[in-house]
Amino acid sequence: MTSIPSAIATPPWTRRHVISLADFTSAEYNTILQTALSFQEVLSRRTKKVPALQGQVITNLFFEPSTRTRSSFELAAKRLSADTLNFAPGNSSLTKGETILDTAKTYLAMGTNLMVIRHRQAGVPSMIAQEMDRLNTGVGVLNAGDGLHEHPSQALLDLFTLCMTLNPEEPRLELLDSHKIAIVGDILHSRVARSNIWSLLASGAEVHLAAPSTLLPTLFEVYGRDRPGKLVLHHELTPALENADFVMTLRLQQERMTQNLLPSLREYHRQFGITRDRLHICKPQVKLLHPGPTNRGVEVTSDLMDDPEISLVSRQVTSGVAVRMALLYLMGTGEE
Output DSSP code: residue 289: E
Nearest approach, Cβ of residue 252 and ligand NCD (Å): 8
DSSP annotation of 197 reads H
Pairing type for strands 114-119 and 246-249 reads unpaired
In the complex with ligand NCD, the residue whose CB is nearer, 119 or 180, is: 119
SS3 assignment, position 260: coil
- Contact between 269 and 206 under an 8 Å Cβ cutoff? The reply is no
Least distance from ligand NCD to the Cβ atom of residue 176, Å: 20
Q: Whose Cβ is closer to ligand NCD: residue 172's or residue 256's? A: 256
Nearer to ligand NCD, 69 or 333 (CB): 69
Which residue's Cβ has the minimum distance to ligand NCD? 251
Nearer residue to ligand NCD within complex by CB, 48 or 68: 68
* Residues 330, 31 contacting (CB under 8 angstroms): yes
Shortest distance in whole angstroms from residue 190 CB to ligand NCD: 7
Please state, in angstroms and rounded to a whole number, the distance separating the CA atoms of residues 6 and 3. Answer: 9
The letter for the amino acid at 125 is P
Dihedral of the CA atoms 278, 283, 288, 289 (nearest 10)? Answer: -120
Least distance between ligand NCD and beta carbon 262 (Å): 15
Picking from 66, 312, 21, the residue whose alpha carbon sits closest to that of residue 194 is 21
Contact in structure between 81 and 91 (CB atoms under 8 Å): no
* Smallest distance from ligand NCD to CB 65, Å: 8
Shorter beta-carbon distance to ligand NCD: residue 108 or 247: 247
State the minimum distance, in angstroms, from the CB of residue 316 to ligand NCD. 8
Which residues lie near ligand NCD (CB under 6 A)? Answer: 68-69, 145, 151, 154, 191-192, 251, 253, 291-292
Report the amino acid identity of residue 5: P
Q: Using DSSP bridges, classify how beta strands 83-87 and 246-249 pair: parallel, antiparallel or unpaired.
A: unpaired
Residue placing its CB nearer to ligand NCD in the complex, 154 or 311: 154
Which CB sits closer to ligand NCD, 38 or 249? 249
Nearest distance in Å: CB 251, ligand NCD: 4
Angle at 312 between CA 180 and CA 205, to 5 degrees: 20
Least separation, in Å, of the C-beta of 192 and ligand NCD?
5
Indicate the residue among 8 and 193 with the shorter CB distance to ligand NCD: 193
| Count of beta carbons in the 10 Å neighbourhood of residue 17 | 21
Instruction: Classify each residue of 202-228 as buried b or exposed e, where b means 16 or more C-beta atoms within 10 Å of its C-beta.
Output: bbbbbbbbbbbeebbeeebeebbeebe
Q: How far apart are CA 222 and CA 20, in angstroms?
A: 16
